[in-house]
Amino acid sequence: MSTTTVRLPEELKARLDRLAAADGKSTHAFMVDALARAAEQRETRLAFDAEVQQRLRDFLRTGLHYSSEDMRAYAKALVRDPSTPPPKLRQLPQAQLRTLRKGLGKGAP
């Protein structure tokens, strides 16, 4: 295990001490748990963002998508029957796809 020194404002240190005591933990254990949770949350967010970017690249390449209306109906149907098949993919017309690509320009992923 490595050691890292962290300088904390006195007020924050006092808050951490109180919260750790309320949880029946040492301040050190409380901080390690909090840092582990923060790291996990950040990793989850980074993975989500990467997936969003990949899906956008795929959409811009293929034009295949689900409409919001189809997805809304699918979500409602899943409540009634969990084996409901997903809706069919739709193809964005090529002219619209070209316009979308052009509009995103350098901002596209």
Question: Which residue segment(s) compose the domain that 103 sits in?
Answer: 63-109
Q: Are the CB atoms for 90 and 67 separated by under 8 Å?
A: yes
Q: Is residue 2 part of a domain?
A: no
Q: Are residues 22 and 48 in the same domain?
A: yes
DSSP 6: -
Residues 69 and 29 in one domain: no
Phi/psi at 33 (5° precision): -60, -45
Q: Report the Cα 109 to chain-centroid distance in Å.
A: 17
- The reported pTM is 0.74
Q: Are residues 26 and 67 in the same domain?
A: no
Low-confidence ranges of the chain (pLDDT < 50): none
pLDDT at 105: 79
**Tally of domains within the chain:** 2
Give residue 52's pLDDT.
Answer: 97
Q: 41 and 73, same structural domain?
A: no
Integer CA distances (angstroms), 60 to 69, 74, 82, in order: 20, 24, 30
Q: How large a percentage of the chain has pLDDT more than 90? A: 93
